[in-house]
Amino acid sequence: MSIRSSISPLLRGTASLSHLSKGSFRITRSSSFTSSIKVSTHRYLSTTSNFKMAAQDTPSGKEVQKDDNVITNWVNPSDKSGEFKRQQSTFRSFISSSPGSEFPPEAGRYHLYVSYACPWANRTLIARKLKGLEDIISFSVVHWHMGPKGWRFVTDEEAEQEDVKGEGVVPHEGGLSHLREVYFGVNPEYEGRFTVPVLWDKKGGKIVNNESSEILRMLNSEFNGLIDEPFKSVDLYPEDLRREIDETHEWQYDLINNGVYKSGFATTQEAYERNVKALFEALDRAEKHLADGTEGPYWFGERLTEVDIRLFVTIVRFDPVYVQHFKCNIRDIRSGYPAIHKWMRNLYWNIPAFKDTTNFNHIKFHYTKSHTNINPLSITPLGPVPDILPRWEEVPAVSFRG
């Protein structure tokens, strides 16, 4: 079967293919698949003019060449190892309910600058919703496009475009154009990356913290005096599980959360292969734990913790982005990891905090149209379709295998 003959039915939205045996395929019709592909096609075709506007943010080649710290240089060009090395966060203060704290918990005082595309920022939005902090901590979302100047805020016109709009996607209330201006407003000599999330103190005009794992902890505990049950009883870092949570984070962060980036941003074959193999070994480990090591729907059985949040934001992006864009294609989640797939979909479909803070438009467009070193033509693939499967539906290969 030629590539052309196998893909034509998919582009017409009338059929799907499942691999049955070597050299043979079965055609299966699906109305949900048809509607999904039509929606996805419309989504991508409608963004051409909008991306032209996003590209205007990119400085001229001459300006870029003058800047030795271009934010889209994910690996230092002079680093012959080809390894992506994540920068440490700079602002590490804490909101604390302790007497005399510089940043005490107060309703309306703090603001989160986030990106729906960024998994690290997505963590904080999930925790904010799980803890019932919507009326206590405000948030705003940057445009999905990242140019050499970093994240930028949307304009009034862009905020209403189909590929951009979402809760909190609004222009900066002070008229700033880029997130970097928030950083420079605090420290004019700042030389690090202009990352999200940023926890901002509106009263003091300061950045409290830009380390997502620490913000996650603050949201979990420091505002409990301002919220009612059942949100107060939500504990994402319970004392009796802290050792196990920390141990799990240690390998999942390095090998999975950051592993996809170390694979995708690698600039040598050796660095890519080393990291992508380690990534899939870690996914195998996670699959085994979820299949055999827990009796509940969450990583620790019946108790939802920050491990579920931190792993989810990577896994939900895996098939739509990391498989093709970061070349993490040894297996995908939906056909290669049934226990992880079930765990992820339970979170997405059954807990609004996960689904409501996942924006596949921002996710897909950011990676494929911002990382021009990986995808120079900024073409966004249509698949997979759908972005995430319904809770009880499987891809044909898994259904057949079952």
Cite the active site residues: 118
CA-CA-CA-CA dihedral for 203, 207, 212, 217, to nearest 10: -50
CA-wise closest residue to 341 among 310, 319, 363? 319
DSSP state of 27: E
How far apart CA 130 and CA 351 sit, in angstroms, is 9
Query: What is the rounded (10 degree) CA torsion for 44, 347, 133, 140?
Result: -10
- Which two structure tokens, joined as six digits, stand for 177? 């154009």
- What 269-275 contacts at long range (C-beta under 8 Å, 24+ apart), as own/partner pairs, is 270/82, 271/81, 271/82, 271/83, 271/84, 272/82, 272/327, 275/83
Return d(Cα 154, Cα 145) in angstroms, integer: 10
Which residue type occupies 151?
A: W
d(CA 153, CA 146): 10
Output the CA–CA distances (angstroms, integers) from residue 200 to 125, 152, 197, 306, in the order listed: 14, 16, 9, 22
Q: Which two tokens stand for residue 310?
A: 């931190």
Q: Report, in angstroms and rounded to the nearest whole number, the Rg of the chain calculated over CA atoms.
A: 22
The answer to whether residues 219 and 235 touch, using CB atoms and an 8 Å cutoff, is: no
Which residue has 């998994």 as its token pair? Answer: 119
Token duo for residue 346: 């339970």
User: How far apart are the C-alpha atoms of 131 and 219, rounded to whole Å?
Assistant: 7
In degrees, rounded to 5, the angle at the alpha carbon of residue 228 between the alpha carbons of residues 166 and 199 is: 45
Is the CA virtual torsion 41, 43, 46, 48 positive or negative? Answer: negative
Determine the straight-line distance between the first and last CA of the chain, rounded to whole angstroms: 25
* 3-state SS, residue 287: helix
